[in-house]
Structure 1
Amino acid sequence: MLAAGVVGLLLAAGAGAAPAATVTALWEGMFGSDYAIGASLNVAATLMLVAVGFTIAHRAGLVNVGGEGQICAGGIAATAIGTTLTGAPAIVTLPAVLFGAAAAGWLWAAIAAYLRVRRGTSEIITTLLLNFVGLALVLLVVHEPALLRQPVTSSETLPQSEQLTAAAHLPLLGIERSPATIALWIAVLAAMATAILVRHTALGTRLRAVGLNPDAAARLGVPVQRLRFLSLSSAGAFAGVAGGLLVATAPFVLAEGFSSGYGFSGLVVGLLARGSLSAVVAVSLLLGFLVSGGINLQLAANVPASTITVVQSLMIVFIAGAALWTTTLRTSAPPSPSTAATAAAGEPR
């Protein structure tokens, strides 16, 4: 992470910004105001949900890189429900919006899960390709008047959906002059519930067995393919909820680009957390503030906000390199004297 941060500073310097100005702009974007903090918390909640889903799939030995497409599916479903379910109270409308988003994300990931367990197709390829389909679907529904586009009243009408009904809006946390919503508490509760599931239940033990050695798990009677299907589709459900939270937060519309690369950033969180749900919460907060700070980086220091994306990409590369390096060291290291003595004592004479 430190190495990626240094590269980010060098890129900012290449764009003409002094290191001090870059750090100041980043800090102001993260913590400079109540609004900045609230926006960062909302971003962190989205990343957290995607990363929780990634962790569940990874527990079963699968890699979900389709968070972006699953967010799109969840956002489309949430918008369809939130713009048509009028007249119902918030206690009905908001849960319907979020459950609809979860169902859409679950179904979207179930496509890749089915191909994985039935055809052996790599879930990395299918979930990655489904991202592009999901992004294209968002473009379709917000540009097509017969679908979700708001009524065209003039040439200045934007290609986006109508606003969700007021009953579908997420309540604010109550921080003065802050857009922070209860999305953060939803994400934290999801992480806590998932941690209990994977660490203290029989289902969590079975998932870990499937991830460590599916062949041995199958010999013990564990339904390997069923658990793989459920783990990957559940990852889609969490990402779908993230999409629902995005459209249920101001400005309460579905528009092209609304997912903003959160699926990719959530993948970074999952990789950095390395299976720990408490680390998912911490890293989500870190990257949530970084993403928000990157926006101010462009406004205040004229450094492209995509610099943060480059830093996140480098984190993935460095994590993969570190994992390969430690694995190589482990396999090439000579056995310790006690290990050698134990092995010698066990050899037949």
Structure 2
Amino acid sequence: MKQHTPKQQKGLEVWEVTLVSELAPNHDNPPGPVSEADAPPAQAKPKGRASKRLCLKLIKLLLPLCVALLLAALVLGVLYLLHEKCEMGILPGVRNNSSGLSRGSQMELDDIQERFRTMLKELAATKNNLEDLTSEHISLSGEKTAMLSRLAQIRTDWEDLKREYTIISDEKKDIQVEFDEAEKELEDLKRKHETLSEETTEFKHNLNQTQANWDDVKTLHTVLLREKSHIQTELHLIQVTKNNSCANDWEYFRGRCYFFSHDWLNWTMSRDSCVSMGGHLAIIEAEEEQVFLTNSGGGYWIGLSDSSQKGDWRWMDNSPLRDPKFWGDGQPEDDKDPDDDPIEEKCVILSWTDKHWDTVSCAGLYKRICESKAADWL
């Protein structure tokens, strides 16, 4: 806003008051007839009629123009004053000093002032809108650039996807070919499976029949073994002599007879076989007897087991084992092996590899050594 010095401000106020006074109607001195003293001096008449007509024409032409210029100057002056007063904030002073103006002129001035203020507000609002639009334009330009960049990236991705689609399509064709071949192989496998199922059913039938026949064979084998043992017992009784000798197939050692079998039985059946022959499984009481028995080889049952109590080793006559020196390395197994069945009974055989004892399952099949006193055959 333009600033004025105090002297300039005072001059403007005087000029404003003068202008308002001239524009306002003079109610105190209404117009009336002018006296001769106040009348202007009469002008001299032109000498010629032509000069008079020319002057009249000039007056007629210039008078409207002068009036229009005067009115325009007055309007511009008023607008300028209003603008200056609005900027300097002294418009209320104008209202106080212009009390002589007519009510209509005052309303026009107020209306002009209000319009001017409205125009200023609209101008400020338009400026703000222009700034907002400029910011929005800049933002939209940035978004447009980003969208164009994104569009270029999308086009690149689209081309990549098209290439990948072509590759996948080719792979799909190859997979379809492999799938068709796999279906053919599956059909062949199904047919083979059906054939194998039929063969398996027939094999199971034959196996069941064979199992039944095998059960019959085992039963017959058990009967034959018992008959053989009975026959051997009878032969031993027949072949007994009275000269401290042993029966046929028995060997004499220090007052005892020993029978080394050639057939294979479990420990229980071996025990019963020896009893049926008039003796018992061998009880080893001396080192000389151990050496004599092991000279015939290994894999023979002897009369030592823990059948009465796990880990309690006893002989056939229920006497406990007193001399454990004939155990092999790591024997007896069931006293040390944590994986050994705690319920399964263990029996003793002469070792295959050395002249010691080994523990095995009582259900195993081995040869046997039967023992009897030589005097018992008398």
Scaled to the shorter chain, the TM-score interval is under 0.3
Give the alignment's TM-score, normalised by structure 1: 0.19
Give the alignment's TM-score, normalised by structure 2: 0.18
Structure with more of its chain in helix, by fraction: 1
Where relative contact order (Cα < 8 A, 6+ residues apart) is larger, the structure is: 1
Structure with more of its chain in strand, by fraction: 2
Rg larger in structure: 2
